[in-house]
Chain A
Amino acid sequence: MFKIFKYSFFDLIRSTWSLVYLLFFLLTTSAILYMSGDLTKAIISMMNVILMLIPLVSTVFGAIYLYNSREFAELLLAQPIKRKSFFLGQYLGLSISLAISFVLGVGLPFVIFGVIGSSYLNNFLVLMVVGLLLGFIFSLLSYWVALRFENRIKGFGFALFIWLFMSVIFDGIFLLILIWFESYPTENLAIVLTLFNPIDLGRVLIMLFLDTSALMGYTGAVFYKFFGAFKGIFISALALILWIIVPVFFLIRYANKKDF
Protein backbone atom coordinates (compact mmCIF):
# COMPACT_ATOMS: atom_id res chain seq x y z
CA MET A 1 0.00 0.00 0.00
CA PHE A 2 2.76 2.40 0.93
CA LYS A 3 4.53 1.93 -2.41
CA ILE A 4 1.39 2.80 -4.31
CA PHE A 5 0.77 5.73 -2.01
CA LYS A 6 4.29 7.01 -2.63
CA TYR A 7 4.01 6.87 -6.38
CA SER A 8 0.58 8.46 -6.64
CA PHE A 9 1.51 11.10 -4.13
CA PHE A 10 4.62 12.13 -6.06
CA ASP A 11 2.77 11.97 -9.34
CA LEU A 12 0.03 14.28 -8.02
CA ILE A 13 2.09 16.71 -6.00
CA ARG A 14 4.04 17.56 -9.15
CA SER A 15 0.96 18.16 -11.25
CA THR A 16 0.04 21.68 -12.22
CA TRP A 17 -3.33 21.30 -10.57
CA SER A 18 -1.85 20.86 -7.11
CA LEU A 19 0.06 24.07 -7.62
CA VAL A 20 -3.02 25.92 -8.85
CA TYR A 21 -4.98 24.67 -5.85
CA LEU A 22 -2.21 25.81 -3.49
CA LEU A 23 -1.97 29.24 -5.09
CA PHE A 24 -5.72 29.64 -5.00
CA PHE A 25 -5.83 29.05 -1.26
CA LEU A 26 -2.82 31.28 -0.64
CA LEU A 27 -4.47 34.13 -2.51
CA THR A 28 -7.96 33.72 -1.05
CA THR A 29 -6.74 33.34 2.52
CA SER A 30 -4.35 36.27 2.26
CA ALA A 31 -7.06 38.43 0.73
CA ILE A 32 -9.59 37.55 3.42
CA LEU A 33 -7.06 38.11 6.21
CA TYR A 34 -5.98 41.39 4.71
CA MET A 35 -9.50 42.69 4.19
CA SER A 36 -11.02 41.65 7.49
CA GLY A 37 -7.90 42.46 9.48
CA ASP A 38 -9.24 40.36 12.32
CA LEU A 39 -8.61 36.69 13.03
CA THR A 40 -12.12 35.76 14.23
CA LYS A 41 -13.80 37.30 11.23
CA ALA A 42 -11.25 35.75 8.90
CA ILE A 43 -11.83 32.32 10.42
CA ILE A 44 -15.58 32.65 9.90
CA SER A 45 -15.14 33.82 6.31
CA MET A 46 -12.67 31.04 5.59
CA MET A 47 -15.13 28.57 7.04
CA ASN A 48 -17.65 29.47 4.35
CA VAL A 49 -15.00 29.22 1.65
CA ILE A 50 -13.82 25.87 2.95
CA LEU A 51 -17.25 24.33 3.39
CA MET A 52 -18.11 25.21 -0.19
CA LEU A 53 -14.88 24.73 -2.09
CA ILE A 54 -13.03 21.85 -0.47
CA PRO A 55 -15.83 19.40 -1.25
CA LEU A 56 -16.08 20.72 -4.81
CA VAL A 57 -12.36 20.62 -5.58
CA SER A 58 -11.91 17.22 -3.93
CA THR A 59 -14.83 15.86 -5.95
CA VAL A 60 -13.40 17.10 -9.22
CA PHE A 61 -9.86 15.90 -8.45
CA GLY A 62 -11.00 12.50 -7.25
CA ALA A 63 -12.91 11.73 -10.42
CA ILE A 64 -10.26 13.18 -12.78
CA TYR A 65 -7.51 11.26 -11.08
CA LEU A 66 -9.27 7.93 -11.19
CA TYR A 67 -10.20 8.30 -14.85
CA ASN A 68 -6.71 9.41 -15.81
CA SER A 69 -5.02 6.52 -14.08
CA ARG A 70 -7.49 3.93 -15.34
CA GLU A 71 -5.16 2.19 -17.82
CA PHE A 72 -2.21 2.40 -15.50
CA ALA A 73 -4.30 0.83 -12.76
CA GLU A 74 -4.80 -2.10 -15.09
CA LEU A 75 -1.06 -2.53 -15.47
CA LEU A 76 -0.45 -2.30 -11.74
CA LEU A 77 -3.28 -4.65 -10.83
CA ALA A 78 -1.66 -7.25 -13.08
CA GLN A 79 1.36 -7.09 -10.78
CA PRO A 80 1.56 -9.15 -7.61
CA ILE A 81 -0.39 -6.77 -5.43
CA LYS A 82 -3.69 -6.94 -3.56
CA ARG A 83 -6.48 -4.83 -4.93
CA LYS A 84 -7.12 -3.44 -1.50
CA SER A 85 -3.54 -2.17 -1.16
CA PHE A 86 -3.66 -0.64 -4.59
CA PHE A 87 -6.89 1.29 -4.13
CA LEU A 88 -6.19 2.39 -0.59
CA GLY A 89 -2.71 3.50 -1.59
CA GLN A 90 -3.98 5.47 -4.53
CA TYR A 91 -6.76 7.06 -2.51
CA LEU A 92 -4.32 8.11 0.20
CA GLY A 93 -1.96 9.55 -2.39
CA LEU A 94 -4.82 11.58 -3.82
CA SER A 95 -6.28 12.81 -0.55
CA ILE A 96 -2.99 13.58 1.14
CA SER A 97 -1.62 15.55 -1.80
CA LEU A 98 -4.82 17.61 -1.76
CA ALA A 99 -4.53 18.00 1.99
CA ILE A 100 -1.01 19.34 1.70
CA SER A 101 -2.04 22.01 -0.79
CA PHE A 102 -4.85 22.98 1.55
CA VAL A 103 -2.78 23.05 4.74
CA LEU A 104 -0.01 25.10 3.14
CA GLY A 105 -2.37 27.37 1.25
CA VAL A 106 -4.55 28.26 4.23
CA GLY A 107 -2.01 27.67 6.99
CA LEU A 108 0.84 29.86 5.75
CA PRO A 109 -1.10 33.15 5.57
CA PHE A 110 -2.66 32.54 8.99
CA VAL A 111 0.72 31.74 10.52
CA ILE A 112 2.23 34.86 8.97
CA PHE A 113 -0.72 36.83 10.33
CA GLY A 114 0.20 35.56 13.79
CA VAL A 115 -2.41 32.94 14.57
CA ILE A 116 0.12 30.94 16.57
CA GLY A 117 0.30 32.34 20.07
CA SER A 118 -3.01 34.16 19.70
CA SER A 119 -6.10 33.03 21.57
CA TYR A 120 -7.70 31.96 18.29
CA LEU A 121 -5.27 29.14 17.63
CA ASN A 122 -7.76 26.44 18.68
CA ASN A 123 -10.49 27.88 16.49
CA PHE A 124 -8.11 27.95 13.59
CA LEU A 125 -7.06 24.35 14.18
CA VAL A 126 -10.69 23.20 14.23
CA LEU A 127 -11.23 24.95 10.92
CA MET A 128 -8.24 23.11 9.48
CA VAL A 129 -9.36 19.75 10.84
CA VAL A 130 -12.83 20.17 9.34
CA GLY A 131 -11.28 21.19 6.02
CA LEU A 132 -9.07 18.12 6.06
CA LEU A 133 -11.92 15.77 6.95
CA LEU A 134 -14.14 17.20 4.21
CA GLY A 135 -11.31 16.81 1.72
CA PHE A 136 -10.85 13.17 2.68
CA ILE A 137 -14.59 12.49 2.54
CA PHE A 138 -15.34 14.09 -0.80
CA SER A 139 -12.28 12.81 -2.62
CA LEU A 140 -13.24 9.36 -1.36
CA LEU A 141 -16.85 9.68 -2.52
CA SER A 142 -15.93 10.86 -6.00
CA TYR A 143 -13.13 8.28 -6.30
CA TRP A 144 -15.64 5.60 -5.50
CA VAL A 145 -18.25 6.99 -7.89
CA ALA A 146 -15.66 7.21 -10.67
CA LEU A 147 -14.64 3.62 -10.03
CA ARG A 148 -18.25 2.51 -10.32
CA PHE A 149 -19.03 4.33 -13.55
CA GLU A 150 -17.04 3.30 -16.57
CA ASN A 151 -18.59 6.17 -18.48
CA ARG A 152 -16.70 9.32 -17.56
CA ILE A 153 -19.54 11.73 -18.20
CA LYS A 154 -21.93 9.76 -16.03
CA GLY A 155 -19.30 9.40 -13.33
CA PHE A 156 -18.46 13.08 -13.33
CA GLY A 157 -22.11 14.04 -13.39
CA PHE A 158 -22.93 11.80 -10.48
CA ALA A 159 -19.93 12.93 -8.41
CA LEU A 160 -20.79 16.57 -9.00
CA PHE A 161 -24.41 15.86 -8.17
CA ILE A 162 -23.35 14.48 -4.79
CA TRP A 163 -21.50 17.70 -4.14
CA LEU A 164 -24.38 19.87 -5.30
CA PHE A 165 -26.82 17.84 -3.26
CA MET A 166 -24.79 18.06 -0.08
CA SER A 167 -23.92 21.71 -0.36
CA VAL A 168 -27.11 23.23 -1.81
CA ILE A 169 -30.08 20.94 -2.40
CA PHE A 170 -29.88 19.25 0.99
CA ASP A 171 -30.30 22.53 2.84
CA GLY A 172 -33.29 23.40 0.70
CA ILE A 173 -35.02 20.10 1.42
CA PHE A 174 -34.11 20.46 5.06
CA LEU A 175 -35.75 23.84 5.21
CA LEU A 176 -38.87 22.61 3.42
CA ILE A 177 -39.24 19.75 5.88
CA LEU A 178 -38.92 22.12 8.79
CA ILE A 179 -41.59 24.40 7.33
CA TRP A 180 -44.00 21.58 6.51
CA PHE A 181 -43.71 20.05 9.94
CA GLU A 182 -43.41 23.25 11.87
CA SER A 183 -46.18 22.30 14.26
CA TYR A 184 -44.36 19.09 15.24
CA PRO A 185 -41.16 18.72 17.22
CA THR A 186 -38.47 18.38 14.54
CA GLU A 187 -35.33 18.36 16.63
CA ASN A 188 -34.64 14.65 16.37
CA LEU A 189 -35.30 14.64 12.66
CA ALA A 190 -32.97 17.59 12.22
CA ILE A 191 -30.18 15.81 14.05
CA VAL A 192 -30.59 12.63 12.04
CA LEU A 193 -30.68 14.52 8.75
CA THR A 194 -27.56 16.47 9.65
CA LEU A 195 -25.67 13.25 10.29
CA PHE A 196 -26.27 12.39 6.64
CA ASN A 197 -24.56 15.49 5.34
CA PRO A 198 -20.83 15.89 6.01
CA ILE A 199 -20.86 19.56 5.00
CA ASP A 200 -23.53 20.38 7.59
CA LEU A 201 -21.67 18.29 10.14
CA GLY A 202 -18.53 20.30 9.45
CA ARG A 203 -20.44 23.54 9.86
CA VAL A 204 -22.01 22.40 13.13
CA LEU A 205 -18.66 21.24 14.45
CA ILE A 206 -16.97 24.58 13.77
CA MET A 207 -19.91 26.59 15.11
CA LEU A 208 -20.14 24.62 18.33
CA PHE A 209 -16.44 25.07 18.83
CA LEU A 210 -16.39 28.77 18.06
CA ASP A 211 -19.43 29.21 20.29
CA THR A 212 -20.84 31.86 17.99
CA SER A 213 -24.50 31.13 18.61
CA ALA A 214 -25.64 33.90 16.28
CA LEU A 215 -24.22 31.95 13.35
CA MET A 216 -25.17 28.50 14.56
CA GLY A 217 -28.35 28.23 12.55
CA TYR A 218 -31.12 25.80 13.34
CA THR A 219 -29.09 22.57 13.30
CA GLY A 220 -26.26 24.05 15.29
CA ALA A 221 -28.72 25.26 17.90
CA VAL A 222 -30.45 21.88 18.03
CA PHE A 223 -27.13 20.12 18.44
CA TYR A 224 -26.19 22.54 21.16
CA LYS A 225 -29.49 22.15 22.99
CA PHE A 226 -29.58 18.40 22.62
CA PHE A 227 -26.02 17.42 23.36
CA GLY A 228 -24.36 20.48 24.83
CA ALA A 229 -21.22 21.87 23.21
CA PHE A 230 -18.80 19.16 24.21
CA LYS A 231 -20.91 16.15 23.32
CA GLY A 232 -22.12 17.90 20.17
CA ILE A 233 -18.55 18.40 19.01
CA PHE A 234 -17.72 14.82 19.82
CA ILE A 235 -20.73 13.40 17.97
CA SER A 236 -20.27 15.52 14.85
CA ALA A 237 -16.57 14.65 14.72
CA LEU A 238 -17.36 10.97 15.12
CA ALA A 239 -19.97 11.14 12.37
CA LEU A 240 -17.44 12.81 10.05
CA ILE A 241 -14.94 10.03 10.71
CA LEU A 242 -17.63 7.45 9.99
CA TRP A 243 -18.15 9.25 6.68
CA ILE A 244 -14.61 8.12 5.82
CA ILE A 245 -14.63 4.62 7.29
CA VAL A 246 -17.94 3.45 5.82
CA PRO A 247 -17.24 4.52 2.21
CA VAL A 248 -13.73 3.01 2.43
CA PHE A 249 -15.35 -0.28 3.36
CA PHE A 250 -17.70 -0.09 0.35
CA LEU A 251 -14.87 1.04 -1.93
CA ILE A 252 -12.78 -2.01 -1.08
CA ARG A 253 -15.70 -4.36 -1.34
CA TYR A 254 -16.56 -3.01 -4.77
CA ALA A 255 -12.94 -2.96 -5.97
CA ASN A 256 -12.53 -6.63 -5.11
CA LYS A 257 -15.29 -7.75 -7.43
CA LYS A 258 -14.82 -5.27 -10.26
CA ASP A 259 -13.59 -6.26 -13.72
CA PHE A 260 -10.79 -4.21 -15.25
Chain B
Amino acid sequence: MIEILKLQKSYGKNLILKDISLTLERGQIISILGPNGSGKTTLIKSILGLVIPQVGDIRFEGETILGGWEYRKKIAYLPQIARFPENLKIRELVNLIKDIRQQNADDDYLIQFFGLEKEMAKSLRSLSGGTRQKVNMLIAFMFDSPVIILDEPTVGLDPVAITRLKELLAREKDKGKLILFTTHIMSLVEEISDEIIFLLEGEVYFKGSVSELNQLNGSGNLEKAITNLMEERNV
Protein backbone atom coordinates (compact mmCIF):
# COMPACT_ATOMS: atom_id res chain seq x y z
CA MET B 1 0.00 0.00 0.00
CA ILE B 2 2.85 2.39 0.84
CA GLU B 3 6.21 1.92 -0.81
CA ILE B 4 9.25 3.88 0.21
CA LEU B 5 12.05 3.79 -2.30
CA LYS B 6 15.62 4.80 -1.47
CA LEU B 7 14.50 7.76 0.58
CA GLN B 8 17.05 10.32 1.68
CA LYS B 9 16.57 13.45 3.69
CA SER B 10 19.08 15.83 5.19
CA TYR B 11 18.72 19.09 7.05
CA GLY B 12 21.73 21.10 6.01
CA LYS B 13 24.72 18.80 6.49
CA ASN B 14 22.78 16.60 8.86
CA LEU B 15 21.75 13.42 7.09
CA ILE B 16 18.61 12.20 8.88
CA LEU B 17 17.35 9.46 6.57
CA LYS B 18 19.96 7.46 4.67
CA ASP B 19 18.59 5.38 1.89
CA ILE B 20 15.42 3.93 3.39
CA SER B 21 13.40 1.41 1.42
CA LEU B 22 10.27 -0.13 2.92
CA THR B 23 7.00 -1.68 1.87
CA LEU B 24 4.06 -1.30 4.21
CA GLU B 25 0.96 -3.43 3.72
CA ARG B 26 -2.63 -3.21 4.91
CA GLY B 27 -4.08 -5.01 7.91
CA GLN B 28 -1.06 -4.49 10.12
CA ILE B 29 -0.02 -2.45 13.09
CA ILE B 30 3.55 -1.40 12.50
CA SER B 31 5.64 0.30 15.14
CA ILE B 32 8.61 2.43 14.25
CA LEU B 33 11.23 2.34 16.98
CA GLY B 34 14.62 3.87 17.45
CA PRO B 35 16.57 6.18 19.71
CA ASN B 36 16.05 9.92 19.69
CA GLY B 37 17.15 11.50 16.45
CA SER B 38 17.07 8.25 14.50
CA GLY B 39 14.65 9.70 11.95
CA LYS B 40 11.30 8.25 13.11
CA THR B 41 9.36 11.48 12.93
CA THR B 42 11.09 12.54 9.71
CA LEU B 43 10.06 9.25 8.10
CA ILE B 44 6.45 9.67 9.18
CA LYS B 45 6.38 13.26 8.04
CA SER B 46 7.80 12.32 4.67
CA ILE B 47 4.89 9.95 4.15
CA LEU B 48 2.52 12.76 5.07
CA GLY B 49 4.19 15.16 2.67
CA LEU B 50 5.17 17.50 5.50
CA VAL B 51 8.84 16.86 4.91
CA ILE B 52 10.08 16.88 1.34
CA PRO B 53 12.86 14.33 0.69
CA GLN B 54 15.85 15.17 -1.48
CA VAL B 55 16.32 11.72 -2.99
CA GLY B 56 13.98 8.78 -3.50
CA ASP B 57 10.28 8.35 -3.85
CA ILE B 58 7.25 7.42 -1.79
CA ARG B 59 4.37 5.67 -3.53
CA PHE B 60 0.89 5.49 -2.14
CA GLU B 61 -1.18 2.80 -3.83
CA GLY B 62 1.33 2.82 -6.67
CA GLU B 63 1.39 6.56 -7.26
CA THR B 64 4.05 8.99 -6.16
CA ILE B 65 3.04 11.36 -3.38
CA LEU B 66 5.62 14.00 -4.19
CA GLY B 67 3.81 17.20 -5.06
CA GLY B 68 0.44 15.54 -4.51
CA TRP B 69 -2.12 16.20 -1.80
CA GLU B 70 -5.22 14.19 -2.61
CA TYR B 71 -3.75 10.94 -1.30
CA ARG B 72 -3.97 12.45 2.18
CA LYS B 73 -7.73 11.90 2.08
CA LYS B 74 -6.83 8.31 2.88
CA ILE B 75 -4.51 9.09 5.77
CA ALA B 76 -5.40 10.03 9.33
CA TYR B 77 -2.60 11.63 11.33
CA LEU B 78 -2.15 12.05 15.05
CA PRO B 79 0.69 14.51 15.65
CA GLN B 80 2.99 14.38 18.63
CA ILE B 81 2.16 17.74 20.10
CA ALA B 82 -1.45 18.79 20.24
CA ARG B 83 -1.59 22.56 20.09
CA PHE B 84 -4.71 24.14 18.72
CA PRO B 85 -5.80 27.71 18.01
CA GLU B 86 -6.69 29.20 21.35
CA ASN B 87 -9.92 30.96 20.57
CA LEU B 88 -11.73 28.11 18.87
CA LYS B 89 -14.08 25.74 20.63
CA ILE B 90 -13.64 21.98 20.27
CA ARG B 91 -16.84 21.79 18.28
CA GLU B 92 -15.57 24.40 15.83
CA LEU B 93 -12.26 22.64 15.46
CA VAL B 94 -14.00 19.34 14.68
CA ASN B 95 -16.18 21.12 12.15
CA LEU B 96 -13.17 22.76 10.53
CA ILE B 97 -11.46 19.43 9.97
CA LYS B 98 -14.70 17.90 8.68
CA ASP B 99 -15.08 20.86 6.38
CA ILE B 100 -11.58 20.39 4.99
CA ARG B 101 -11.85 16.65 4.50
CA GLN B 102 -15.40 16.50 3.20
CA GLN B 103 -15.72 12.89 4.32
CA ASN B 104 -18.16 11.05 6.50
CA ALA B 105 -17.16 11.42 10.11
CA ASP B 106 -18.01 9.24 13.06
CA ASP B 107 -17.50 12.03 15.55
CA ASP B 108 -20.53 11.57 17.81
CA TYR B 109 -19.54 8.03 18.63
CA LEU B 110 -15.94 9.00 19.39
CA ILE B 111 -16.91 12.00 21.48
CA GLN B 112 -18.78 9.60 23.70
CA PHE B 113 -16.00 7.04 23.52
CA PHE B 114 -13.47 9.52 24.89
CA GLY B 115 -15.97 11.14 27.25
CA LEU B 116 -15.69 14.57 25.66
CA GLU B 117 -19.42 15.45 25.58
CA LYS B 118 -19.17 18.11 28.25
CA GLU B 119 -16.07 19.72 26.80
CA MET B 120 -17.31 20.33 23.27
CA ALA B 121 -18.33 23.96 23.86
CA LYS B 122 -15.16 24.84 25.76
CA SER B 123 -12.48 26.88 24.09
CA LEU B 124 -9.29 25.00 23.33
CA ARG B 125 -7.18 27.29 25.44
CA SER B 126 -8.71 26.05 28.67
CA LEU B 127 -8.08 22.33 28.13
CA SER B 128 -5.65 20.17 30.06
CA GLY B 129 -2.88 18.33 28.23
CA GLY B 130 -4.68 15.00 28.44
CA THR B 131 -7.93 16.41 27.11
CA ARG B 132 -6.08 18.01 24.25
CA GLN B 133 -4.58 14.67 23.37
CA LYS B 134 -8.10 13.19 23.39
CA VAL B 135 -9.28 15.92 21.03
CA ASN B 136 -6.27 15.11 18.91
CA MET B 137 -7.32 11.46 18.80
CA LEU B 138 -10.91 12.39 18.05
CA ILE B 139 -9.74 14.34 14.99
CA ALA B 140 -7.49 11.55 13.83
CA PHE B 141 -9.95 8.70 14.26
CA MET B 142 -13.25 10.22 13.24
CA PHE B 143 -12.72 9.49 9.55
CA ASP B 144 -12.67 6.07 8.05
CA SER B 145 -9.17 6.35 6.55
CA PRO B 146 -7.36 3.23 5.35
CA VAL B 147 -4.06 4.45 6.80
CA ILE B 148 -3.59 5.78 10.32
CA ILE B 149 -0.31 7.38 11.35
CA LEU B 150 0.38 8.16 15.00
CA ASP B 151 3.40 9.98 16.39
CA GLU B 152 3.95 9.12 20.07
CA PRO B 153 0.23 8.54 20.71
CA THR B 154 0.46 7.73 24.41
CA VAL B 155 2.21 10.87 25.63
CA GLY B 156 0.08 12.63 28.24
CA LEU B 157 -2.69 10.05 28.32
CA ASP B 158 -4.08 8.54 31.50
CA PRO B 159 -4.32 4.72 31.78
CA VAL B 160 -8.00 4.71 30.86
CA ALA B 161 -7.36 6.67 27.70
CA ILE B 162 -4.46 4.39 26.80
CA THR B 163 -6.75 1.36 27.10
CA ARG B 164 -9.28 3.12 24.88
CA LEU B 165 -6.58 3.88 22.35
CA LYS B 166 -5.52 0.23 22.24
CA GLU B 167 -9.14 -0.87 21.76
CA LEU B 168 -9.52 1.60 18.97
CA LEU B 169 -6.34 0.51 17.23
CA ALA B 170 -7.28 -3.17 17.44
CA ARG B 171 -10.70 -2.42 15.99
CA GLU B 172 -9.31 -0.37 13.13
CA LYS B 173 -6.76 -3.05 12.35
CA ASP B 174 -9.55 -5.61 12.05
CA LYS B 175 -11.07 -3.41 9.36
CA GLY B 176 -7.94 -4.08 7.32
CA LYS B 177 -6.24 -0.77 7.88
CA LEU B 178 -2.58 0.03 7.98
CA ILE B 179 -1.57 1.56 11.29
CA LEU B 180 1.83 3.11 11.69
CA PHE B 181 3.07 4.51 14.98
CA THR B 182 6.21 5.64 16.78
CA THR B 183 6.70 5.15 20.49
CA HIS B 184 9.21 4.62 23.24
CA ILE B 185 6.94 2.40 25.31
CA MET B 186 8.00 -1.18 24.73
CA SER B 187 5.05 -2.80 26.48
CA LEU B 188 2.71 -1.11 24.00
CA VAL B 189 4.79 -2.40 21.11
CA GLU B 190 4.79 -5.94 22.46
CA GLU B 191 1.08 -5.84 23.05
CA ILE B 192 -0.28 -4.49 19.82
CA SER B 193 2.21 -4.39 16.99
CA ASP B 194 2.51 -7.00 14.28
CA GLU B 195 5.72 -5.66 12.93
CA ILE B 196 8.63 -3.58 14.15
CA ILE B 197 10.75 -1.28 12.09
CA PHE B 198 13.84 -0.34 14.04
CA LEU B 199 15.60 2.75 12.79
CA LEU B 200 19.13 3.59 13.76
CA GLU B 201 20.96 6.64 12.49
CA GLY B 202 18.64 6.98 9.56
CA GLU B 203 18.75 3.39 8.38
CA VAL B 204 16.39 0.46 8.78
CA TYR B 205 18.34 -1.67 11.21
CA PHE B 206 15.71 -4.34 11.76
CA LYS B 207 12.35 -5.15 10.25
CA GLY B 208 10.25 -8.05 11.44
CA SER B 209 7.84 -9.26 14.08
CA VAL B 210 8.26 -9.01 17.84
CA SER B 211 8.94 -12.74 18.16
CA GLU B 212 11.55 -12.62 15.43
CA LEU B 213 13.35 -9.87 17.25
CA ASN B 214 13.22 -11.82 20.49
CA GLN B 215 14.53 -14.96 18.82
CA LEU B 216 17.28 -13.03 17.15
CA ASN B 217 18.57 -11.83 20.46
CA GLY B 218 17.45 -14.76 22.52
CA SER B 219 16.57 -12.58 25.43
CA GLY B 220 12.82 -13.18 25.55
CA ASN B 221 12.23 -9.60 26.54
CA LEU B 222 11.66 -6.87 24.01
CA GLU B 223 13.23 -4.11 26.01
CA LYS B 224 16.41 -6.12 26.44
CA ALA B 225 16.35 -7.20 22.82
CA ILE B 226 16.21 -3.59 21.71
CA THR B 227 19.00 -2.63 24.08
CA ASN B 228 21.10 -5.51 22.80
CA LEU B 229 20.39 -4.41 19.26
CA MET B 230 21.66 -0.94 19.99
CA GLU B 231 24.70 -2.12 21.90
CA GLU B 232 25.70 -4.56 19.19
CA ARG B 233 25.73 -1.65 16.85
CA ASN B 234 27.99 0.36 19.08
CA VAL B 235 30.53 -2.41 19.62
Contact = CB atoms under 8 A, between A and B. Distances in A.
A80 B100 contact: yes
Nearest to A7: B96
Given A7-B88, A10-B92, A81 B69 contact: yes
Contacts of B160: none
B79 to A, nearest CB: 5
Nearest to A258: B52
B97 A79 contact: yes
B46 to A, nearest CB: 9
B51 A11 contact: no
A15 B88 contact: no
Given A257-B52, A260-B51, A79 B100 contact: yes
B11 A259 contact: yes
A66 to B, nearest CB: 12
A72 B81 CA distance: 9
Contact of B79 (A10, A14, A78): A78
Interface stretch (B70-78, B106-114, B226-234): B70-78
B169 to A, nearest CB: 18
Contacts of B84: 72
A79 B101 contact: yes
A76 interface: yes
A14 B100 contact: no
Interface in A95-116: none
B85 A11 contact: yes
B174 interface: no
Contact of A78 (B70, B72, B83, B88): B72
Interface residues of B, number: 30
Contacts of A81: 69, 72, 100
Interface in B54-69: 69
Contacts of A259: 11, 45, 50-52
A3 to B, nearest CB: 5
Contact of B86 (A11, A70, A75, A260): A11
B92 A78 contact: no
B45 A7 contact: no
A69 B85 contact: yes
Contacts of A69: 85
A8 B81 CA distance: 20
B85 A75 contact: no
A74 B151 CA distance: 12
Contacts of B75: 78
Contacts of B92: 7, 10
B166 to A, nearest CB: 23
B134 to A, nearest CB: 15
Nearest to A86: B100
B179 interface: no
B81 A71 contact: yes
A129 interface: no
A68 B99 CA distance: 22
Nearest to A78: B77
Contact of B50 (A10, A14, A72, A74): A74
Contacts of B79: 71, 74-75, 78
> 9 closest Cβ contacts across the A-B interface?
A71-B83, A78-B77, A80-B72, A260-B50, A11-B85, A14-B87, A80-B73, A259-B51, A78-B48
25 contacts: A3-B100, A7-B92, A7-B96, A10-B88, A10-B92, A11-B85, A15-B86, A68-B85, A71-B81, A72-B83, A72-B84, A74-B79, A75-B79, A76-B100, A77-B48, A77-B49, A78-B48, A79-B97, A80-B69, A80-B71, A80-B72, A81-B100, A259-B11, A259-B45, A259-B51
Given A7-B85, A78-B50, A80-B100, 18 more contacts: A7-B88, A7-B96, A10-B92, A11-B85, A15-B87, A68-B85, A68-B86, A71-B82, A72-B85, A74-B50, A78-B48, A78-B72, A78-B75, A78-B77, A79-B97, A80-B71, A80-B101, A260-B45
Interface of A: 3-4, 7-8, 10-12, 14-15, 68-72, 74-83, 257-260
Interface of B: 11, 45, 48-52, 69-73, 75, 77, 79, 81-88, 92, 96-97, 99-101, 139
